[in-house]
Amino acid sequence: MTGIINYGAGNIFSLTAALNRLNIPYGMINIPEELEKYERYIIPGVGHAGAAMQKLRNSGLAESIPTLRKPVLGICVGMQLLTDFSEEGNSRLTGIVPLNTLHFNKEHGLKVPHTGWNQVDLDKQNLLFDGLGAQQYFYFVHSFFIEFNPKFTIASAEYGIKFSAVIQKDNYYGVQFHPEKSGVAGEKILSNFSLLA
């Protein structure tokens, strides 16, 4: 069963609605002691990375997440929480993936936040993309992005700059887009994750 790490993120309903459509069983994790009940974990996210990290610290989950050995999927801010540092609030994060989360540069004429459907290019084969092609469109809503690094980037996207759309380090995965709002391709990502062991 999939455990949703519940720290007050704003998109729990749309995520659980997608999991219900896919018949993926799930439960909510509010404290570290509940982690052991589940085979894999999702860290959802909408909002401020620094505030989200503080909520994880308050619940005791911030210390537990880096010790997990089962599959973990961070979504949007949940993905950013896996990195070292975010320019959003100059926040230290979990440090699981040694990358930084940066702000889109308005000087390049970019509208921020980056909102809408964007092409994602697969940089390396990965179980999350089983049954999907090398190019897919997913739905994004974000003002901050994770720097591109070929060591950890599974798939990339461009919005004025090339950035990491999907990352992996060991059992930790992150997607910058919202799979629960990305139609068939997004549901395939969630379905593939539910099969990871």
Catalytic residue, from 88, 114, 142, 180: name it.
180
Residue-wise pLDDT tens digits, 10-59: 668 899 999 999 999 999 999 999 999 999 999 997 778 988 999 999 99
Q: What are phi and psi of 117, to 5 degrees?
A: -80, 135
Residue-wise pLDDT tens digits, 144-172: 999 999 999 999 999 999 999 999 999 99
Structure-token match 């996210």, residue found:
45
Is 178 a residue of the active site?
yes
Q: Which CATH architecture has domain 2-194?
A: 3-Layer(aba) Sandwich (3.40)
At residue 10, the pLDDT reads 60
pLDDT (0 to 100) of residue 107: 60
Active site (annotated) includes residue 147: no
Domain ranges of the chain: 2-194
Catalytic residue among 88, 114, 142, 178: 178
- Single out the catalytic residue among 76, 88, 114, 142: 76
Q: How far apart are CA 197 and CA 184, in angstroms?
A: 23
